[in-house]
Amino acid sequence: MKILEAKNIVAGYSKTEILHGVSIYLEEKEVITIIGPNGAGKSTLMKAVMGYVSIYSGTVTWKGEDVTHLKPYEKVTRGFGYVPQLGNVFPSLTVLENLEMGGYTRPKPEVRDKIDKAFQLFPILKEKMGKKAGTLSGGQRQMLGMARALMTDPELIMLDEPSAGLSPKASEEVFMTIADIHKRLERSIMIIEQDAYQSLNISDRGYVLVMGQNEFEDKAEKILTNQKIKEAYLGG
């Protein structure tokens, strides 16, 4: 069953149109990766789906419900989870407070329970629990960002370039964690990546976005072996 479907999305910032009719969908428990060159509109697409960017035309459907024009915080209560590329934590709040904020919409006992679970999934966060998030390393911040998003038990997790700015080792760790989350929690995951090998490796399907339009879509392993795509978007 399709959990999320974005159809013919035309969107942008005030008068600059960035997406010119993009369509994607996600099956339940599926992992997809969206790749494409800089400026292709990948982040904008994710922000449009989440409700940060105004959608001029097209629809976003969530489990059969039209959610095109809902605000981000309303989508959170529907089951959307989002980890932005920049500013993925609250820097002046402690690690623990970051997690509490992730569970803002949930009752207190549930939040406590979820925090325990987050510490199991991300042991490093337990060690740093009283530290301000601004003092964490890039990789740790990414972990905290994901842990915060998981606090609401979202059915869909959207990750905007989770490996951006990370060392190869940290980025490998992040993708192992994502694969682990998928295996343990069985959620739908949407990932945007520029350096897409690792991401496609853990995905079921992939999309290639160019100049605000769908360029190509296929099963992830087929994209990884497609010579043309490889040359054009995966750096040979």
Binding site for other proteins (CB under 8 A): 50, 52, 71-73, 76-77, 81-84, 86-93, 97, 100-102, 104-105, 134, 148-149, 151-152
- Residue with smaller CB distance to other proteins, 93 or 232: 93
Task: Give the nearest distance from C-beta 74 to other proteins in angstroms.
Answer: 8
Residue 83 CB, nearest approach to other proteins (Å)? 8
Instruction: Provide, rounded to whole angstroms, the least separation between the CB of residue 57 and other proteins.
Output: 21
Closest approach of other proteins to the CB of residue 156, in Å: 12
**Of 161 and 204, which has the nearer Cβ to other proteins?**
161
According to DSSP, the residues that pair with 6 across neighbouring strands are 24, 60
Bridge partners, residue 207, by sequence: 34, 217
C-alpha separations of 124 from 115, 118, 200 in Å: 13, 10, 26
β-bridge mates for residue 210, sequence order = 213
By the 8 A CB rule, do 77 and 85 touch? Answer: no
CB 93, min distance to other proteins, A: 6
Cα–Cα distance, 200 to 235 (Å, whole number)? 14
When the beta carbons of 181 and 200 are compared against other proteins, the nearer one is 181
Q: Are strands 205-210 and 213-219 parallel, antiparallel or unpaired?
A: antiparallel
DSSP secondary structure of 109-128: HHHHHHHHHHHHH-HHHHHT
How far apart CA 134 and CA 206 sit, in angstroms, is 33
Helices (H), the chain: 42-50, 72-78, 95-102, 108-121, 123-127, 138-150, 168-185, 197-201, 220-225, 227-233
Looking at the Cβ atoms of 128 and 205, the one nearer to other proteins is: 128
Q: Under 8 Å CB-to-CB from 183, ≥6 apart: which residues?
A: none
Q: Residue 45 or residue 220: which is nearer to other proteins going by CB?
A: 45
Q: Which is nearer to other proteins, 32 or 89 (CB)?
A: 89
The CB-of-79 to other proteins minimum distance in angstroms stands at: 11
Smallest distance, other proteins to C-beta of residue 130, A? 13
Round to whole Å and give the CA distance between 17 and 20.
7
Q: Which is nearer to other proteins, 155 or 204 (CB)?
A: 155
